[in-house]
Each structure stands twice: as C-alpha cells, then as structure tokens.
C-alpha cells in the first residue's frame, strides 16, 4: 500500500474507534440550554444553591438536596458574596439545566459557550460533570 493509503486507513480506524467510544460511552446526562432563569437571576438567588466556580469559565448552581455532582479538582465551592463577586466568566455564556437519570434536575451550569461540557450518569442520584476548555483566539482558555 502507498503512504497516502496507509494514512487514510489509519484515519479511518481512528474514526471508527472514536465513534464506538462515543456511542458506548455509558449513560449520558443532559445539558439543556435555557433562557430562564438567566445568569443574573441565578446570581441574585445564589444562596438557594450550592455554588461551584471554575476560574473564568463556569459556575454550577447545584440544587440543595442529597443528589451529587462530581467535579474535577479545578472547581471551588463558593462560600461568600465576595467569592461570588470575583467569579467573573470571560466571554459570552450559556445557561444550561443539568439533568440526570429520568431527567431529574440537579442544577444549572453557566459557562462560556465555546467550551465543551458532558454529563455522565453514575447512578440515580449522582452525575459526573466533565468540562473541557476550548482555546480561543482572544487568549482565554488557558
């Protein structure tokens, strides 16, 4: 086989593996984009939630109940108005509902629209939030 044919074959195999991993990736939760509540409303009502912050990129407003959202080490729990005031997100944002098993609402995610976010259902009361920062030309995403 010629070199271009080998490269195409390897690319084809990589795409097949990627598709299989994506399709067999387990139970996925849902991130549903919403218009209400808006980001400003969530900021005003922040004490009604357990709030977590990822520096310059995202905020999670988790409903106060026994259900859990598993985060990576980059997330910090917001415990004061001063911390919340310093939790500015760079760039335009989306507000999304975090839905787990049986479309149970766990909270809201406010994040940069450029970034990729996935929710994996661990069990009926737990989801794992995976947040991937996308490098942008404005220098953010570092």
**Residue 138 is assigned to a structural domain of this protein:** no
**Residue 10 is assigned to a structural domain of this protein:** no
Residue 139 above 70 pLDDT?
A: no
**Residue 14 is assigned to a structural domain of this protein:** no
> Which domain covers residue 128, as residue numbers?
27-132
**What's the pTM?**
0.76
Q: Are 82 and 24 in contact (CB under 8 A)?
A: no
What's the confidence (pLDDT) of residue 26?
Answer: 61
**Residue 127 is assigned to a structural domain of this protein:** yes
Q: Are 92 and 110 in contact (CB under 8 A)?
A: no
**Residue 6 is assigned to a structural domain of this protein:** no
For 89-100, how does the pLDDT look when each residue is reduced to its tens digit (9 = 90+)?
888 899 999 999
Q: Are 98 and 119 in contact (CB under 8 A)?
A: yes
What's the confidence (pLDDT) of residue 100?
Answer: 93
Count of the separate structural domains present in the chain = 1
């Amino acid at each position: 086989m010629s070199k271009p044919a080998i490269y195409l074959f390897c690319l084809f195999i990589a795409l097949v593996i990627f598709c299989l991993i994506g399709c067999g990736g387990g139970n996925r939760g849902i991130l549903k984009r919403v218009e209400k509540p808006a980001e400003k409303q969530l900021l005003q009502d922040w004490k009604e939630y357990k709030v977590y912050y990822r520096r310059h990129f995202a905020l999670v407003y988790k409903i106060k109940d026994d259900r859990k959202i598993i985060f990576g080490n980059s997330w910090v729990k917001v415990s004061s108005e001063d911390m919340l005031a310093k939790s500015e997100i760079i760039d335009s944002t989306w507000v999304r509902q975090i839905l787990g098993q049986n479309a149970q609402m766990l909270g809201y995610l406010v994040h940069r629209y450029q970034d990729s976010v996935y929710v994996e259902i661990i069990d009926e009361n737990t989801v794992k939030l995976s947040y991937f920062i996308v490098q942008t030309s404005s220098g953010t995403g570092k």
